[in-house]
Chain A
Amino acid sequence: GNSVTQMEGPVTLSEEAFLTINCTYTATGYPSLFWYVQYPGEGLQLLLKATKADDKGSNKGFEATYRKETTSFHLEKGSVQVSDSAVYFCALSPYNTNAGKSTFGDGTTLTVKP
Chain B
Amino acid sequence: DARVTQTPRHKVTEMGQEVTMRCQPILGHNTVFWYRQTMMQGLELLAYFRNRAPLDDSGMPKDRFSAEMPDATLATLKIQPSEPRDSAVYFCASGLGTASYEQYFGPGTRLTVT
Kindly state the interface size class of chain A when it binds its partner.
Answer: 20 to 34
B: which residues have CB within 8 A of A? Answer: 4, 31, 33, 42-43, 45, 48, 50, 55-56, 91, 93, 95, 97, 99-108
**Interchain CA distance A89-B37 in the complex, whole Å:** 13
Residue pair B45, A101 in contact (C-beta under 8 Å): yes
Residue A100 at the B interface, CB < 8 A?
Answer: yes
- Closest-by-CB residue of B relative to A43 is B105
Given A99-B101, A100-B103, A101-B55, 18 more A-B residue pairs with CB atoms under 8 Å apart are A32-B101, A32-B102, A34-B102, A43-B91, A43-B108, A44-B43, A46-B102, A46-B103, A46-B104, A89-B43, A93-B100, A93-B102, A98-B56, A100-B95, A100-B101, A101-B45, A102-B103, A106-B42
Chain A residues with Cβ below 8 Å from B102 are 32, 34, 46, 49, 93
- Closest-by-CB residue of A relative to B41 is A106
A: which residues have CB within 8 A of B? Answer: 32, 34, 36, 42-46, 49, 51, 89, 93, 98-102, 104, 106-107
